[in-house]
């Protein structure tokens, strides 16, 4: 099937939903070799993925994933970016997830090691002492009891090991870089997603609508970030009540620190983790804090905790400056990791 699909794709013809499902099942079940997978992914990338094709791939990824269904009051959300931006920032979306949780949002954070940046969410949390091999039931318990949990993508998507070699050999971004952040194993009902390519905004928000998200924001910063940025204008598509609306957001409209791209960039994993730590414990500078507050605010809005960015930013500030965000991080590490690692970092960084 994959060979026929590749031929059709190279003729710039869209595949049907069922054709993609059949190809994806071959891949997820380990019946396709690396060359066939590479050809399929590259042909799909060159043609450009349709929403139907993305939906079919998402459905099969979901079918083969390990799922959890946390029982919570209110919405369950995720915060993530698709990666691929040129500015190697610290872990903005990870920090914003803990601030949102401290503000009363239920967060099922789904992430992986870095694919394009300096430090992915999994890299950062592992550095803090989190056990990436935490069992699904323990993640579910953390979400229910602490208001936040972390799902390491390879743990919850074991069938994705069948595409690892092909993706590595291709060395370019593929459809899986789009689908990964959307394939949350906890079936969140609201989400914020950053994209580094503005052409993806419409595709991603439409896909989120098709897969049943109640509310979502998909955004791209004009500085190239796959986050909301406090350096520039942000383009946003907002899915709410079944309708998608578009608008632009200027960070200068709010009472937060305004930055230049260089203010948000880091050179190493350790620097990224340290800056994430400092944002959460309230010792980061206003420029880095501003970027995180903007993204945390979007999380609060889609979680129905605030109606506007102004209100959501103020709630996020209270969660951060009151120590709640850092307490959430520490509680998560204590529950699913080695808290002595985080305490060692406290001693090192709080005295510097």
What confidence score (pLDDT) does residue 88 get? Answer: 87
H/E stretch holding 175: helix 175-179
What confidence score (pLDDT) does residue 310 get? Answer: 97
Q: What is the rounded end-to-end Cα distance, in angstroms, of the chain? A: 59
Strands 215-221 and 233-240: antiparallel
What confidence score (pLDDT) does residue 114 get? Answer: 82
* 149 touches 333 (CB < 8 A): no
- What is the spatial distance between Cα 164 and Cα 104, in angstroms, rounded to a whole number? 37
All residue ranges of the chain with pLDDT < 50 are none
User: Tokens representing 113?
Assistant: 């090691």
CA distances 348 to 102, 129, 170, 208, 333, Å, are: 24, 15, 40, 42, 17
The structural domains of the chain, ordered by start, are: 2-63 (1.20.970.10), 76-156+170-335 (3.40.1030.10)
What confidence score (pLDDT) does residue 117 get? Answer: 66
Alpha-carbon 129 to chain mean position: 20
What confidence score (pLDDT) does residue 16 get? Answer: 97
The predicted model scores a pTM of 0.95
What confidence score (pLDDT) does residue 322 get? Answer: 86
CA distances 24 to 29, 64, 104, 156, 293, Å, are: 8, 10, 38, 17, 38
């Amino acid at each position: 099937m994959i060979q026929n699909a590749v031929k059709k794709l190279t003729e710039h013809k869209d595949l049907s939903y069922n054709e993609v499902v059949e190809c994806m099942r071959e891949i997820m079940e380990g019946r396709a070799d690396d060359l066939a997978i590479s050809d399929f992914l590259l042909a799909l990338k060159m043609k450009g993925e349709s929403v139907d094709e993305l939906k079919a791939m998402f459905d099969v990824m979901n079918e083969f994933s390990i799922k959890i269904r946390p029982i919570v009051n209110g919405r369950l959300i995720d915060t993530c970016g698709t990666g691929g931006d040129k500015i190697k920032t610290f872990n903005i979306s990870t920090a914003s997830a803990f601030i949102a949780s401290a503000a009363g949002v239920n967060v099922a954070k789904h992430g992986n090691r870095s694919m394009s940046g300096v430090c992915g969410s999994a890299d950062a949390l592992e550095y803090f002492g989190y056990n990436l091999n935490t069992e699904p039931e323990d993640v579910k318990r953390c979400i229910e009891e602490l208001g936040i949990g972390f799902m390491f993508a390879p743990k919850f998507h074991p069938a994705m090991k069948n595409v690892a070699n092909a993706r590595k050999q291709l060395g370019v971004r593929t459809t899986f870089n789009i689908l990964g952040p959307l394939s949350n194993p906890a079936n969140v009902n609201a989400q914020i997603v950053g994209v580094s390519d503005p052409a993806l905004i419409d595709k991603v928000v439409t896909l989120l609508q098709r897969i049943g998200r109640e509310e979502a924001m998909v955004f791209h910063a004009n500085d190239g970030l796959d986050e909301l940025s406090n350096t520039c204008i942000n383009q946003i598509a907002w899915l709410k009540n079944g309708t998608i609306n578009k608008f632009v957001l200027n960070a200068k409209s709010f009472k937060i620190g305004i930055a230049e791209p260089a203010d948000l960039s880091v050179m190493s994993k350790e620097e990224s983790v340290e800056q994430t730590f400092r944002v959460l414990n309230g010792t980061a500078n206003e420029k880095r804090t501003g970027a995180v507050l903007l993204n945390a605010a979007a999380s609060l809005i889609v979680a129905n905790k605030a109606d506007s960015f102004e209100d959501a930013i103020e709630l996020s500030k209270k969660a951060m400056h009151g120590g709640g965000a850092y307490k959430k991080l520490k509680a998560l590490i204590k529950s699913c990791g080695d808290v002595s690692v985080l305490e060692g970092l406290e001693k090192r960084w709080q005295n510097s």
